Amino acid sequence: MYFDCIIAGFGGQGVMVMGNILAYAAIREKKKVTYMPVYGVEMRGGTANCTVVVSDREIGSPIIQRPVCAIVMNLPSLEKFGPRVRKGGLLVVNASLVPEEEIRFRGLQTLSVPSRELALEVGNERLANMVVLGAAVQKSGVVHLRSLKKALYPALDRRYHKMIDMNMKAMDRGAQFVEKGR
């Protein structure tokens, strides 16, 4: 089993925490994992991305030129990382910020997630990243959705634990969107 993924967006969209949660979920499933962040000097508004590699075997490079999967949370990230996804790979797009007509990559599976809309349904638009992560995990099958949800505990600081329920619901909503197409 081998999976790698670049998660990219604006600083403040929760891109790094998505990568962290995915990594913790992989650890729960006793897989090997590396997480490599790349960001500018800004706290918010700059570009941010991270690379997560998950494997049964010892992992070599934590840096990937052509990932199996990319999760792009905004248009600049789509433009930068969309063309780099491996043929036959998975491109997960935050449809709330990326217009449908921008997504034109041949030979890829694409999944457009109306993250803001679904997050509002769950209760807070700031859950958009968790919706997308839930959808990406459901579609790729890299880890079980239940592992992803449980990973919220080690990945989040204790002071945010009261919000875990809501985050789990957001992940479920993303996964449900993949299953039912709405």
Partner 1 sequence: MAEIEFVKGNEAIAMGAIEAGCRFYFGYPITPQNDIPEYMSRHLPEVGGTFIQAESEIASINMMLGAGATGARAMTSSSSPGISLKQEGISYMCGSQIPGVIINMSRSGPGLGGISPSQGDYFQATRGGGHGDYRTIVLAPYSVQENYDLTMKAFDLADKYRNPVVVLGDALLGQMKEPLRRHKYRKKKGEKDWILTGAKGRSPRLLKSLYLSEGELTEHNWRLYRKYQRMKREIMYKVEFLEGAKLVVVAFGSVARILKSTVAMARDKGMKVGLFRPVTLYPFPYAALDKLSHKVRNFMAVELNTGQMVEDVKLAVGHKKNQVDFYGRPPGSIPSPDELLEEIKKVYNKRVKK
| CB neighbourhood size of 61 (10 A) | 11
6 or 137: CB nearest partner 1 = 6
H or E element in which residue 131 lies:
helix 128-140
65 or 88: CB nearest partner 1 = 65
Closest of 90, 1, 3 to residue 53, by C-alpha: 3
Query: Rounded distance, CA 165 to CA 57, Å?
Result: 33
Q: For residue 115, give both structure tokens.
A: 């993250």
CB of residue 52 to partner 1, shortest distance in Å? 9
Binding to partner 1 (CB under 8 A): which residues in 33-52? 33-37
Q: Does 78 bind partner 1 (CB under 8 A)?
A: no
Q: Does 150 bind partner 1 (CB under 8 A)?
A: no
Backbone φ, ψ for residue 109 (5° rounding): -85, 130
Q: Segment contacting partner 1 (CB under 8 A): 24-32, 72-80, 117-125, 165-173?
A: 24-32
What residues make contact with partner 1 under the rule CB under 8 A? 20, 23-24, 27, 32-37, 58, 60-66, 154
